[in-house]
Amino acid sequence: MTVEGLSPMTKVEVVVRSTDADAVSRQIVSAGGTGYTSLPGVTGLGHHGAHDGRALFNDQDALTLTITVVPDDRAPALIAGLRELLERRPGVMFVSQVSVSRPHYFQ
Amino acid sequence: MSSTESHPTPGRGDAVLGAPTAVTGPSTIDLQRVRAFADVALDVVGDYYGLDAAVAVNPLLPRLAAGFGVAATEAAAALGAAGAPTEAHFRALLSSGRIRRADLAAVLRRRSATDAAGDEAAGDEGVGDDDVLVARFLEAAPSIRNRPAVDRRTARVDDRLSRFTRSWFADEEAAWSVRTGAGFYADWRALALVDLTLRPRARRALRELPERPDALIARHLAGRRLDDAAALDLLGRHLARTPGWTAALRRRTATRRDVDAVEFLAVRLALTSVLDAPDPAAAPAPELSAERLLVWQEAAEAGTHDAILRSVRIPSAPGRDDEGGVDAVPATLDAVPEAAHVVCCIDVRSEGLRRHLEAVGPYGTSGFAGFFGVAARVRPLGAPTGVDACPVLIAPRHAIDERPRPGAAPRTRTALERLRATASWSSALRAPEKGVHSALGWAELSGWMLGPLSALRSVAPGALGDARRPDELPSSPPTLFDLDSAMSLDEQVMTADTVLTTMGMTTRFAPVVLLLGHGATTTNAPFRTALDCGACGGHRGGSNARIAAALLNAPAVRAGLAARGIRIPDETVFLGGEHDTVTDRVTVHDAHALPERQRLRVRALEADLAIAGKRLRRERLAELPGGRRVGAEAEVDRRAADWAQVFPEWGLARNAAIVIGPRALTRGVDLERRAFLHSYEQSTDPDGTALTTILTAPLVVAHWINAQYYFSSVDPEVFGAGSKTVHNLVGGLGVLAGPDGDLRIGLPQQSVMTREGLHHEPVRLMAIVDAPLERIDRVIERHDIVRDLVHGEWVRLVAPAADGRGWVERGADGWRPRILTPDTDDVATATPTAKEAA
């Protein structure tokens, strides 16, 4: 997706168990990502069935969605690292092209 | 949007980092993959939480999804540990009759229908005479693999890495800091380059290694031309050489975040390189296969679990006797109005107090996680910072401060001044000890004064005053917890609602409801927080109990509860208290402000709690090494004050089950302090919300505790902390056995055994859940953590059969009848004695 006047970037979204969310954020930071958004307790239906949101007294028994946007040249390394994680831990990753209005935030 | 396949990973299926990498240097993609490998490699062991707030945890938690059988064999073996009793141990239990042949045969028959385990014995048909089945099983004896000797150079790597990690991790305790702010690897590298204990050749080699930690790992892997799986295995083998430091590292990556697996591994691999050490050898295969262990383990724990199941009443089973169980709940139990109701923590130690109290008078009791639903960071009066007084499964939602009650300012000031004076005096005395130049001189100067005091403390524990922690106020000025500043009214009402509905207490409130936290008074005990309340994050639970009581007494909260259909009578008062599990004395707080009539009720309750505590003391002391039932009162005080006492109490040793259901299931039954008890009333939980909460939190905590005791018992050297007598503290991080070496995780030997052998019986947790089967199924289906526990056979989940006749057990393939083996002895006699279990 390209929108006139905006800058193209790569958006990476990862849903993993909350206990693995730290590893995802470490990947983002070490790959040069300047930030990310983390949404703990996401719900939904997936490969392993339905998932409730965060339990009342257990933050760890939940899924976390982590979203980041990086310049295109940093995306391959980040994706390669995340794929290695997801080879060995449950989760899914979505990669898409996006356009951002303030590219310097992400560089 | 594209799928992940749109970015193929270079090198997949080939050497993880090939020769070109070694020549040209790793690409950014290589480095990022290396980082992922390092993170995943950390899964060789679970988190270690340290001793400032000791939290029991399954040391193989990262392998939870693999199931108990695989984790206790393969994952444990990867750490060089025994994750289960040996074949010889199980055979000895069989010979002694502690494992009943009927149980072993039954397990073999059942498992042969679903997997290969029983096939070894049962043959294709899976049926046959008990003796034949058992004989075939015993014929298939596993071979014992010798553990390969550790290369001397690898041991040197372990030693150097451990020393540096200790200095870096416990930096605040060090007289000379090794930290410069550059990071774990950079700090080590800077020191190593000028370390004269390294040969010049090693220092030269170090200069040639990459300065980036990820690049160093990449280079190490590239030189070996490994595929992905082998590379990951190699990194895991390195981390497994120091499971204690690796476990502490795991925790640190999620809390302080000042070090990660990449930096730690970089130091390890750099040492390996410059010391010319080989990579650690692959661990030998475990003695028992996962399938064989599951057979033995189930047979070994059948006697204990059967005995507990026979004790627990099956609901809605009128006149039931065909399963050998006890009769249904006596109708008279519900007919007597309660003089007071006591809500205890689910901790197994509460079972004894509840049992004895109910025998003393017309009291009712319930069980709830000891933080009483208040997930808060609590700052006690006079404390500089707060503590996370809630299970480690959740982050604190509120920050609550303890403050003086109106009018109590002068008393509070006096108490705080005394505390500060004591702290200053203590600090002044200890300051010279920490100085590099003053320590020896100070010992000479102060020895004449402190020597006699030390001697007095040794020969007459308690002579210098009651046991008290250094941060505790010397007196108790009237205080309150400032709820309104920490929580909105809606939050207060919701918390109160959750607490009451989760334990099924929504009607028929007693005039006095005492919420009872617990803590342990000890002296000079590094593992003291392991005896405190796990639900309070390894802290004493009195404050949480007082906070919850204040919440439930607040008129605005009660009005909010009434709007939700929970009407607490005006006459009912909630109080907070604390059970000291070393002395079995109970303190009731905040009763002074009550009306006279209520005060009389509380006094009567306190008197009966004292009687219950006295009976419990005698019962407990009979099991403690050196325990004397005569003079029990003085004996527990002596243990609490004795700075050389390694057995202040048994903690949660011998835990074997959790009962989730109404007290009617277990009232009047002596469960020998082996069962966690969580109240649950299925009729007040039609949508299963409360059950979900219980199975996703208290059950998980109970499993962590059970697993910690299990693994600390079966391998006290790797999963346990070894003997207390040789422990050296590393700040609040943990202990070392002797001056150096790996950080010791788990429980010390004195928490699970005596010189005679094991006191704790390594059995898995049996969860008895009084709830409709489909409701339990729904929680299992929707919550990974519960599914892993049940399907992975970490927890044996049992529920009353739908027809009210007998029990059913949940496995990965659904429910099956839980048949009790006839002629089961009671819990005590079905359990191996210490000597036999050794």
DSSP B463-496: TTS----TTS-SS---EEE-HHHHS-HHHHHHHH
pLDDT in tens, B530-552: 999 999 999 999 999 999 999 99
Of B7, B36, B782, the CB nearest to A84: B36
pLDDT in tens, B3-51: 343 333 444 445 666 555 555 678 999 999 999 999 999 999 999 999 9
Percent share of chain B, pLDDT over 90: 72
The CA distances from residue A61 to A43, B391, B393, B501, B713, in Å, are 11, 13, 9, 21, 28
Q: State the complex-level ipTM.
A: 0.94
**Is the model's pLDDT at B323 over the cut of 50?**
no
**How far is B673 from B619, CA to CA, in rounded Å?**
10
Q: Can you spell out the DSSP letters for B628-680?
A: -STTHHHHHHHHHH-TT-S-S--TTTT--EEEES-GGGTTT---TT-EEEE--
**B454 to chain A, minimum CA–CA distance in Å?**
45
Nearest to B655 by CA among B532, B794, B759: B759
pLDDT in tens, B343-367: 999 999 999 999 999 999 999 999 9
For B108-117, B207-216, B438-447, B687-696, which range has the lowest pLDDT when averaged over its residues? Answer: B108-117
**A4 to chain B, minimum CA–CA distance in Å?**
19
Average pLDDT over residues B239-257: 96
The CA distances from residue A42 to A16, A59, A64, B396, B687, in Å, are 10, 11, 6, 20, 21
Buried b (16+ CB within 10 A) or exposed e, B596-611: eebeebbeebbebbee
Burial of residue B690 (number of CB atoms within 10 Å: 0-12, 13-18, 19+): buried
Residue B114: pLDDT band by 50, 70, 90 thresholds? low
Residue B459: pLDDT band by 50, 70, 90 thresholds? confident
Kindly determine whether residue B697 and residue A56, on different chains, have CB atoms separated by under 8 Å: yes
**How far is B836 from B831, CA to CA, in rounded Å?**
10
**How far is B838 from B833, CA to CA, in rounded Å?**
9
**How far is B169 from B184, CA to CA, in rounded Å?**
9
The ranges assigned to domains in chain B are: 4-44+151-274, 337-405+478-696, 406-433+440-477
A49 contacts in chain B (CB < 8 Å): 781-782
Of B3, B32, B254, the CB nearest to A31: B32
SS (H, E, C) chain A: CCCCCCEEEEEEEEEEEHHHHHHHHHHHHHCCCCCCEEEEEECEEECCEEECCCECCECCCCEEEEEEEECHHHHHHHHHHHHHHHHHCCEEEEEEEEEECCHHHHC
Kindly determine whether residue B1 and residue A95, on different chains, have CB atoms separated by under 8 Å: yes
B778 contacts in chain A (CB < 8 Å): none
Tokens of B424: 């200053």
Average pLDDT, chain B: 89
The CA distances from residue B567 to B79, B509, B687, in Å, are 55, 9, 21
Buried b (16+ CB within 10 A) or exposed e, B784-793: bbbbbbbbbb
**Is the model's pLDDT at B822 over the cut of 90?**
no
State residue A74 phi and psi, 5-degree precision.
Answer: -95, -10
Kindly determine whether residue B394 and residue A88, on different chains, have CB atoms separated by under 8 Å: no
**B252 to chain A, minimum CA–CA distance in Å?**
12
B11 contacts in chain A (CB < 8 Å): none
**How far is B536 from B559, CA to CA, in rounded Å?**
28
Residue B246: pLDDT band by 50, 70, 90 thresholds? very high
Q: Which residue of A has its CA nearest to B255?
A: A22
B2 contacts in chain A (CB < 8 Å): 95-97
Binding positions of B are 345, 347, 518, 533
Q: Give all domains of chain A, ordered by start, each with its CATH number.
A: 7-106 (3.30.70.120)
Interface of A with B (CB under 8 A): 17, 22-23, 26-27, 30-31, 48-52, 55-61, 74-90, 93-97
Burial of residue B99 (number of CB atoms within 10 Å: 0-12, 13-18, 19+): buried
The CA distances from residue A7 to A11, A100, B338, in Å, are 12, 5, 71
**B775 to chain A, minimum CA–CA distance in Å?**
15
pLDDT in tens, B134-172: 999 999 888 776 677 888 999 999 999 999 999 999 988
**B403 to chain A, minimum CA–CA distance in Å?**
27
Alpha helices in B97-151 (DSSP H): 101-112, 119-122, 130-139
Strand partners for B389: B376
**Is the model's pLDDT at B191 over the cut of 90?**
yes
Kindly determine whether residue A50 and residue B782, on different chains, have CB atoms separated by under 8 Å: yes
- HSE-up of residue B41 (Cα within 13 Å, Cβ side): 31
Kindly determine whether residue A80 and residue B693, on different chains, have CB atoms separated by under 8 Å: no
**How far is B185 from B268, CA to CA, in rounded Å?**
9
Tokens of A72: 């295109």
**A86 to chain B, minimum CA–CA distance in Å?**
9
Nearest to B159 by CA among B838, B738, B801, B819: B738
Kindly determine whether residue A58 and residue B782, on different chains, have CB atoms separated by under 8 Å: no
CA distance from start to end of chain B: 60
**B498 to chain A, minimum CA–CA distance in Å?**
9
Kindly determine whether residue B33 and residue A80, on different chains, have CB atoms separated by under 8 Å: yes
Question: For tokens 């444990």, what's the residue?
Answer: B76
Find which of A11, A29, A57 to mutate to test the B interface (most B CBs within 10 Å of its CB). Answer: A57
Query: Which is higher by pLDDT, B334 or B631?
Result: B631
Kindly determine whether residue B29 and residue A22, on different chains, have CB atoms separated by under 8 Å: no
Of A27, A55, A76, the CB nearest to B696: A55
Pairing of strands A37-42, A63-70: antiparallel
Tokens of B717: 């050297």
Nearest to A24 by CA among A73, A65, A59: A65
- HSE-up of residue A55 (Cα within 13 Å, Cβ side): 32
B698 contacts in chain A (CB < 8 Å): 57
Tokens of B696: 């996703």
Kindly determine whether residue B697 and residue A57, on different chains, have CB atoms separated by under 8 Å: yes
Find which of B39, B47, B185 to mutate to test the A interface (most A CBs within 10 Å of its CB). Answer: B39
Of A48, A55, A75, the CB nearest to B692: A55
Find which of A19, A25, A38, A58 to mutate to test the B interface (most B CBs within 10 Å of its CB). Answer: A58
The CA distances from residue B297 to B85, B118, B293, B602, B765, in Å, are 9, 13, 6, 47, 12
Binding positions of B for Zn(2+) are 345, 347, 518, 533
What's the pLDDT at B287? 92
A79 contacts in chain B (CB < 8 Å): 4, 7, 9
Which residue numbers in chain A have pLDDT < 50? 1
**How far is B448 from B558, CA to CA, in rounded Å?**
61
pTM value?
0.92
pLDDT in tens, B553-566: 999 999 999 999 99
For B52-61, B369-378, B669-678, B819-828, which range has the lowest pLDDT when averaged over its residues? Answer: B819-828
A82 contacts in chain B (CB < 8 Å): 36
**Is the model's pLDDT at B838 over the cut of 90?**
no
What's the pLDDT at B13? 46
Kindly determine whether residue B696 and residue A61, on different chains, have CB atoms separated by under 8 Å: yes
**How far is B710 from B141, CA to CA, in rounded Å?**
24
**Is the model's pLDDT at B395 over the cut of 80?**
yes
Q: Residue B610 belongs to what H/E stretch?
A: helix B596-621
Kindly determine whether residue B32 and residue A75, on different chains, have CB atoms separated by under 8 Å: no
Sign of CA dihedral B202, B203, B208, B212: positive
A81 contacts in chain B (CB < 8 Å): 32-33, 35-36
Tokens of B392: 């480690």
Of B35, B700, B784, the CB nearest to A81: B35
B28 contacts in chain A (CB < 8 Å): 31, 74, 76-77
**A85 to chain B, minimum CA–CA distance in Å?**
6
A80 contacts in chain B (CB < 8 Å): 7, 9-10, 29, 32-33
Residue B580: pLDDT band by 50, 70, 90 thresholds? very high
Find which of A29, A45, A61, A82 to mutate to test the B interface (most B CBs within 10 Å of its CB). Answer: A61
